Amino acid sequence: MSYVEEFKSAVSRSNENGIDVTFPLIKRKPYLDKKTLNKYSRFFSQKFTDIGYEAFKGQCLAISQATHEYLEEKVKIPSILTFGYVVLDDDDYFKQDENFYSALVRNPSRKQSENIHAWVTLTSGEIIDPTFATSYAYAHGIEEMKGSVVSGYADKLNKGMSYHPMIVGSDFLIKAGFIRIGRFALT
């Protein structure tokens, strides 16, 4: 199944779980051209270099949410926070089934944030994942990958790498208990 097909299923799944999502994937020229990626790289460096790459572990929700807000507000690129798993060289990372996500919406648990992964999907069908490569680099001791961002069309990433959306929308963070509205704190 293609990324776009999986994404459409994730939109349906989100709506079934009370997360109101209308997000069209429109075939068009890529948003993530060299100029846009350079702007994002400057934003990313300014916003996150101070925390150190080692602090990226377990922070994909906050960093991906900040990326989504940057793309929407500063660069005016329509995007949506996306939750799911990554397959790299036949190994699954953060894989959970749809029942897991449905259960989180029914019974919020901030403790489960370590078991999910987030990235951003654009209306062009491209993705941008600011944390997976760095987390993988730390876990596997690959120094040159630290600070890397995965970006492009999900179906055209490096061979052996694929993204699998399960649920979409920033409202999932609230419904799953990862954001507390009173103090608006990502955990």
Any domain includes 12: yes
What is the pLDDT averaged over residues 94-98? 94
What total number of domains does the chain contain? 1
- Residue 85 pLDDT > 90: yes
Q: Note down the domain range covering 87.
A: 3-19+28-180
Select from 158, 90, 93, 141 the least CA-distant residue to 119: 93
What is the pLDDT averaged over residues 65-91? 94
Query: What pLDDT was estimated at residue 185?
Result: 46
Provide the 8-state DSSP code for 159.
T
Can you give the pTM of this predicted structure? 0.89
Any domain includes 186: no
Interval 116-134: pLDDT, tens: 999 999 999 999 999 999 8
Any domain includes 187: no
- Residue 146 pLDDT > 70: yes
What is the pLDDT averaged over residues 4-15? 95
CB 127 within 8 A of CB 82: yes
Query: What pLDDT was estimated at residue 187?
Result: 44
